A and B are shown apart, each in its own frame.
Chain A
């Protein structure tokens, strides 16, 4: 078996941790390999030396008394990731190289909670693609520089995950946000700032004014699903296509056949005849979650759609030609979903005020 003995390529404090817990670590690895003989020992060894050692050594510089517990926890979790075949995932590599080194303080306090949380979050956000994952990791790293409590940092991460496109967390994130420091909220949701420093610089310097500004931002986000703070101002209120989502499964999308949509309890659903998904969508992104049978009733929302593609919202109307001869449509209080016979996409129409 691979002896994890603090060999020369692992240096510093982590080498001492490996030496201190050598028997236990070796026993754990032996058990893991007994359960799965195909376990890649060399990949694990590389992970420890290239990713884990710098993190543990960074903790040792600030909190030497915590290094054993931190090192042991990160080792154990890394072994869990190896078992789950996660170490070769790009988002996991990013977590270890770009984020955890910035989380020295929370890591030293609660290593297991921190590592497990950011890894699990990155795996979820990773389903949206590399770009949202990088954005989330960058945002959490920036927030850590403000030295919030671990609970606040994790709360920030939840809001930032919603901002990164996990639309199904919208309601939860909007409940969490008011309890966070206004600077953290702005950092999490502002879409326009090039970096954290620019985002924070644009906030009012006066504490009360900053709090009021962020409260107003949250209020707008709560009532307007299609508002994205920092995005270019709309000249006027508009009903328009906000997103085309879904797509053909063969091209990496969701549906095997052109879908139909429906609503239930003010939520959107789509089915391709074989499976049914619940759709969560807003200005920041969309997610699909497989559910049971398609709800049989359409529900009554804020929008209706005419055969010629005219979208009605109360007395307001907006003709959107591409929606003519729709195959199906369904409306919630703030979103209209439309499908066509000629495409696997779901067209999402929303209204936002200027």
Chain B
């Protein structure tokens, strides 16, 4: 059993507060202590701690990533401004994390699709390999299963081959057996340099990545649910082939491999001198069984998202889809309409609508937030909350995952006035910080509008969510009147911003539901 590098912390990685009252003792604890017996973890209580142990082992021993860019604070942090550019450095007061290690680990927990981007030698593939080891695969098997993108890669290279003997003797397609590639059956899938794969092979990859099955000659192979890791040296279309949009859209989270801090050359020196390769000696106690992986995903699903937090996410997402001059009918006034028509977005978005183009967050993007991106955001926010030992998502969890989820989903409109404002040019380059600022700005606007305390549209939605069973004709008419009044108030408002646009469409939807319900009531009576 490989069980080296045993610097897995014996102390809880997030110590619980001391509890009072009588203790109860489990006689099984006799055999627990400083020496790890490699027992399976209690899937009801111990998996988040195990994942944290994995995180700390990776950052302390495997991936030298001394960056704490996912910050949490328990008390106001110290802030410093350094250099002529007034670069702000904060010293977080809560347990903070390195996105380059944490996000792939959360992706492992929720089994989604993670893109690791950055220059060569930054540990992208090594990080993905560690995830394969966490899933319990031997190192050589993980290495063999890596699909290395290259310009000659064929669908057969990727998926498998029909058996030659069957090809000669077969009377029908069903007689041909397929030798499927082994990686298709693995729970961790690694595609190295995916932007060097030819377009046709990318399409085959898309089927596996999106629909979880592979197809050759009318034969299909159902893949198990897996955590995907794709790597790219250049995220901005600098690969050999352009990544097809559908494939790019399936990526749930994008993580930057940050630079190597030269203050840590000593660690490299030890590895060189001692011939150390951490991936060869991951502690066995960190390996997750299939049952544990399933339990972990289920536990993450149980994490709650408080309604006020959900409203903030809704408000944020509502900022970006509206393009007031993108269509005539209200439903079609979107950036998506403009894109489908092939119209010039820059021209349309620059036309005067009377909105404050600096304050309007919608001007900063060329598209809106997709359903897939929202689902990814919810899943990763829950995963982060669970990783931190919490039963419900906090605002900072959402704030910390959104930039990585939306990294390739929300396209910046660099012609927007925001980017020309003094000091904002940096956000043309630093997309993670720009996305975080977008969310912070949306939250500030949400607070200014006092939507936490007065949100009549949300109240109407809540009413409708209770169901229509038993709602009387008079009550339905009263609700319709309330909707119409609210719509009139919206119409009296000065400008059409993204969140107003979504409110208007939601009111129209509710009005239609009650109208149909009234018709049914009258027919049935």
Contact = CB atoms under 8 A, between A and B. Distances in A.
Interface string B3-22: 11111001000000011111
- Most chain A beta-carbon contacts within 10 A, residue among B3, B28, B38: B3
Contacts of B23: 168, 278, 289, 291
A116 interface: yes
A31 B30 contact: no
Nearest to A23: B275
A35 interface: yes
A162 B5 contact: no
Contact of B25 (A35, A86, A115, A280): A280
B365 interface: no
Contacts of B278: 31
Interface in A35-92: 35, 69, 72-73, 76-77, 79-81, 83-84, 86
Interface in A216-247: none
Please classify how large the interface on chain B is, using the bins under 10, 10 to 19, 20 to 34, 35 or more: 35 or more
B422 interface: no
Interface in B338-355: none
Contacts of B18: 292
Q: Is the interface of A mostly helix, strand, loop or mixed?
A: helix
A112 B61 CA distance: 23
A292 to B, nearest CB: 3
Nearest to A122: B33
Q: Which of A86, A112, A269 has the most CB of B within 10 A?
A: A112
B82 interface: no
Contact of B35 (A116, A161, A269): A116
A113 B38 contact: yes
B168 interface: no
Given A31-B274, A84-B35, A172-B26, A292 B1 contact: no
Main secondary structure of the interface of B (DSSP, over half): loop
B435 to A, nearest CB: 37
A196 interface: no
A132 interface: no
Interface string A137-155: 0000000000000000010
A49 B30 CA distance: 28
Given A80-B35, A115-B35, A120 B30 contact: yes
A169 B28 CA distance: 9
A171 B32 CA distance: 18
A86 B34 CA distance: 9
A154 B4 contact: no
A253 interface: no
B513 interface: no
Q: Kindly name the residue among A1, A173, A280, A292 whose own CB sees the greatest number of chain B CB atoms within 10 A.
A: A292
Contacts of A191: none
B280 interface: yes
A120 B28 contact: no
13 contacts: A27-B275, A31-B278, A76-B1, A77-B3, A79-B4, A154-B31, A157-B31, A162-B27, A267-B22, A269-B22, A291-B22, A292-B20, A295-B22
The 10 A-B residue pairs with the shortest CB-CB distance in the complex, in nearest-first order:
A172-B27, A292-B20, A120-B33, A116-B37, A30-B274, A28-B4, A117-B31, A76-B3, A168-B25, A116-B35
Interface of A: 1, 23-24, 26-28, 30-32, 34-35, 69, 72-73, 76-77, 79-81, 83-84, 86, 112-113, 115-117, 119-121, 123-124, 154, 157-158, 161-162, 166, 168-169, 171-173, 175-176, 264-265, 267, 269, 278, 280, 289, 291-293, 295
